[in-house]
Amino acid sequence: MGSNCSLHLAWPEGKHLRNDVEVRWSKYGLKFTGGEIICANQKGTVLPATRQPLEEGWKRLEGMASGDRRHGKEPAAVEEDNFPEGLRVLAVDDDRVCLRVLEAVLRECKYKPTGVMDGRTALKLLREKGEDHFDLVITDVHMPDMDGFQLLELIGLEMDLPVIMLSVNGEKATMYKGIKHGACDYIVKPADIKEIRNIWQHVVRKNHVAVIHNRSDSDDADQRVARPVIGKGGAKSKKCSKKKRNDGEGSDDDKRGRRRNTWKKPRVSWTGELHNRFLEVVYRLGVDRAVPKAILEMMNVHNLSRENVASHLQKYRLFLKRVTDDPMKPNHMGDSSESRRNASYMGMSHQGVLPSSALCPCGSHNLNAAPPSILGPHGLSIQPRNWAMSTVGNGGLMPDTGSRHASGPPVGLFANTSDQPMQDAFPRIHFRSGKAYHSVLRQKLMEVNTSVVPSSHPGTSSVAAEMPNGGQLEPANQFLVQPREQIGHFSGPMGMAPSAMGTHGDTQLPYLAGNCTNPWQNNVAPSSFAGSMVGAPLLPSSQVNVNLPQINQTIFAPSSSEMAVFQNEQQNQMAGTNINNTTSVDIYSQQMTPLFNMASNAAPVEMTNANFSPMNQMMVNGGSTSSPSLNLQAGNPVAPPAQMANGGGSSSSALPGHLDSSVVPPAQMVNGGGSSSSSLPSHLGSSVALQTQMLNGGEGASGILPVQDDPARWHDSDHQPTYSTSNFLEDIFASMASQDFNPDALW
DNA sequence: ACGGAAATAT
DNA sequence: GATATTTCCG
């Protein structure tokens, strides 16, 4: 057949790096030159032999059109004469052009092709027609919706058809993955027609070997598939040195039962739920004792491995450390890189993912007890291949940083949060250095945890979290930050992390903000707050939706004299920044803390706009004030009361008392995205700029803007009031009262 | 088993 | 390109 015919034409130049003589596999620098294989990782680092499981198989691949890699055999030397014409080949590719070419080539090679555009259609076809209807399947691996790997798995589970995968870049890992998923062979695009012509051998062999399979019976598909690849070559010895994993040595692995097939472990998605559980356990154990094994046991999540936990713990520690170490650096609004970095850890703080029911979770519940149903039967959520694209679940905490998130449906952010992977951005916290590591960690933990999220309401579509806002406020998030030192008493976050708090009475709060001077700009966002942001749609630093202006402000708590200063500074800054809507939210976002302002009367509303970011306000109390009544304004429902607490040394009692008066926040809410009409209150409209306000202890005096709010607006029909005030309050209080404030009660 | 770090998957 | 997870290794 026209050997001239080549699939080369079907694929765009640049994607592949293969030519007849030398092969440069892929974008990661894997090279295949003159019989010698050089393996490099994504960064161009040459990998040691140990990391080259396919080495041998790879070599073999060169030279042979196809082979039965699945069984680790050399391709049967089949006589051309045996070529069975008319084999029915199902070709799957989402690219029409490629598919056409493939079909043409197959036809050219005397096969009888049937092409389908995507994986799902292919699977459907296979199910409808039955496996007997086809002799072979050849599929591209990179397809949306259902990629080749998924298709491979499903086909493998449901039928016994040889499947050959096509990979665009020829990356070893991809090939290997395909083999592990059951592909009997792989062909790198652009594929030479000779390879296509030889695929019939798989069919022949399959029929042949059917018997041979007896052995595979016990092994699951997994094993049978991969092993071959590795063990194949004779020469491999050296390379396999480390490889031992699969080779005989596996004793170690075997013992642990780890030997599991070569199947790769499914990727675990650390959803907000899962992460929250993790945090709880960590808190319970205490930083010192929080080691992977113990955490794993306490988490009691099915299918979660120690390694998974260790990895997450590693990341968490890294987060804590970063927080600790990072000197506050003033950041300018524009410091995107910085914010980005932080973003990666954001998720580490407690996610607001918990459903309201779960609100209390924190500490008080015994984790060991039944895990929240949210986690699902297994508790674990494995990421679907494409999850990243669609979800971001940040517990609401994090705003999406990535653009990709933007695309995601804002809606239901909260609602789904629990199962969504959390975005990992940790809020940045700055601690003062100098403390003992543990001590710092402890603090951090507390902080971090604090945030709890109010529940998510399913109904809401929008991103935003619920913000109850009391009637009055709409201030955007205001955080009160206390001066570092003063932060000492944290009352406990409202929502959650009670436990942590409880534990350390003395603990000081980490200080969230850096210095007074730069309160906002710094990323100082208090972690705890961050957590709290929860509901709100926090916009995380990076970006939020453009449209929405969000504003979060941090407020320092002023207990001390610093307050004054602080305020001034803020004001100044504000002035500078003032609100442009859209503008960088970054600055603010990190600091967002939800505030609770509970207005007594106002019903909290959930602000749902996706873009909307609620403003949270933390209440701080400056020194003195105390207002008698509680007023929680609606910032974030979640905001833990504790935080509100007071700044200065005030008593831990922090609660509500202070809140009210002290805060004066007028923040602005913006609504983003979407329509302006959105749920926000009218004033909030996107166009509205917010003002920042600080809360200061005393009256709003300090220069801050008064808030004006019309509670009524929140009730607009447009709004979806999801959270009822009463409930909201109840939750809050309940948590405050029972948990948060009572440390001992918790764990 | 741990924890750090490299590798690899998204 | 940057992150998130997994895997390897001392």
Mind giving me the DSSP string for A614-655? ---B-----SS---SS--EE-S-TT--HHHHS-SSS--TT-S
Q: Tokens 């607006």 — which residue?
A: A713
Phi, psi of A370 (to 5 degrees): -60, 135
A698-711 pLDDT per residue, tens: 333 333 223 333 33
A243 touches strand B (CB under 7 A): no
pTM: 0.35
Whole-number distance in Å between A308 CA and C8 C1': 14
Q: Which runs of consecutive H residues, i.e. helices, occur in A505-635?
A: 527-533, 562-577, 586-590
Predicted local confidence at residue A311, as pLDDT: 92
Q: Tokens 């923040």 — which residue?
A: A667
A720 SS3 class: strand
A267 touches strand B (CB under 7 A): yes
A12 touches strand B (CB under 7 A): no
Nearest nucleotide, C1' to the C-alpha of A307? Answer: C6
A311 touches strand B (CB under 7 A): yes
Lowest mean pLDDT among A225-229, A612-616, A646-650, A709-713: A225-229
A388 touches strand B (CB under 7 A): yes
- Return positions of chain C under 7 A from a protein CB: 2-9
Nearest nucleotide, C1' to the C-alpha of A342? Answer: C3
A177 touches strand B (CB under 7 A): yes
Nearest-angstrom CA–CA distance, A368 and A284: 11
Lowest mean pLDDT among A227-231, A535-539, A663-667: A227-231
- Asked whether A160 and A206 are in contact (CB, 8 A), the reply is yes
Nearest-angstrom CA–CA distance, A564 and A456: 37
A144 touches strand B (CB under 7 A): no
Predicted local confidence at residue A271, as pLDDT: 85
A43 touches strand B (CB under 7 A): yes
> Which is more confident, A651 or A299?
A299
Whole-number distance in Å between A41 CA and B8 C1': 8
Predicted local confidence at residue A577, as pLDDT: 36
Nearest-angstrom CA–CA distance, A732 and A451: 12
Instruction: Give the confidence band of A308 by pLDDT, cuts at 50, 70, 90.
Output: very high
Asked if the peptide bond before residue A53 counts as cis, ω within 30 degrees of 0, the response is no
Nearest-angstrom CA–CA distance, A297 and A377: 16
Nearest nucleotide, C1' to the C-alpha of A318? Answer: B4
Instruction: Return the nearest residue to B7, CA–C1'.
Output: A41
A12-33 pLDDT per residue, tens: 222 222 222 233 333 333 333 3
Predicted local confidence at residue A428, as pLDDT: 39
- Return positions of chain B under 7 A from a protein CB: 1-10
Whole-number distance in Å between A309 CA and C7 C1': 13
Nearest nucleotide, C1' to the C-alpha of A384? Answer: B10
Is residue A510's pLDDT more than 80? no
Q: What is the DSSP letter of A52?
A: -
Whole-number distance in Å between A588 CA and C1 C1': 25
Nearest nucleotide, C1' to the C-alpha of A258? Answer: C7
A51 touches strand B (CB under 7 A): yes
Nearest nucleotide, C1' to the C-alpha of A265? Answer: C6
Lowest mean pLDDT among A89-103, A193-207, A408-422: A408-422
A322 touches strand B (CB under 7 A): no
Tokens of A296: 């794993």
Nearest-angstrom CA–CA distance, A492 and A735: 9
Instruction: Give the confidence band of A154 by pLDDT, cuts at 50, 70, 90.
Output: confident
Nearest-angstrom CA–CA distance, A29 and A216: 35
Nearest-angstrom CA–CA distance, A87 and A201: 11
Q: What is each CA distance from A553 to A76, A177, A253, A567, A585, in whole angstroms? A: 70, 47, 52, 12, 10
Instruction: Return the nearest residue to B10, CA–C1'.
Output: A388
Q: What is each CA distance from A177 to A206, A270, A573, A695, A703, in whole angstroms? A: 21, 23, 53, 56, 62
Q: What is the DSSP string of A705-729?
A: PPP---HHHHT-TTSB--S-HHHHH
Instruction: Give the confidence band of A5 by pLDDT, cuts at 50, 70, 90.
Output: very low
Instruction: Give the confidence band of A199 by pLDDT, cuts at 50, 70, 90.
Output: confident
Instruction: Give the confidence band of A310 by pLDDT, cuts at 50, 70, 90.
Output: very high
A216 touches strand B (CB under 7 A): no
Nearest to A419 by CA among A451, A446, A456: A456
Structural element, H or E, at residue A60: helix A55-61
Instruction: Return the nearest residue to C3, CA–C1'.
Output: A344
- Strand C: residues with CB below 7 A: A 42, 48, 50-51, 242, 245, 264-270, 307-308, 310-312, 314-315, 340-341, 343-345, 347, 383, 421-425
Strand A36-38 and strand A87-92: the pairing is unpaired
Nearest to A23 by CA among A31, A15, A13, A14: A31
Whole-number distance in Å between A145 CA and B8 C1': 22
Nearest to A415 by CA among A459, A383, A376: A459
Nearest-angstrom CA–CA distance, A647 and A569: 17
A297 touches strand B (CB under 7 A): no
Residues with Cβ < 8 Å from A264, sequence gap 6 or more? A177, A180
> Which is more confident, A388 or A734?
A734
Predicted local confidence at residue A320, as pLDDT: 85
Nearest-angstrom CA–CA distance, A338 and A322: 12
Neighbouring C-alpha atoms within 13 Å toward the C-beta of A156: 22
b/e sequence A204-219, b meaning 16+ C-beta within 10 Å: bbbeeeeeeeeeeeee
Nearest-angstrom CA–CA distance, A93 and A141: 8
Neighbouring C-alpha atoms within 13 Å toward the C-beta of A672: 32
A120 touches strand B (CB under 7 A): no
Nearest-angstrom CA–CA distance, A718 and A42: 49
A266 touches strand B (CB under 7 A): no
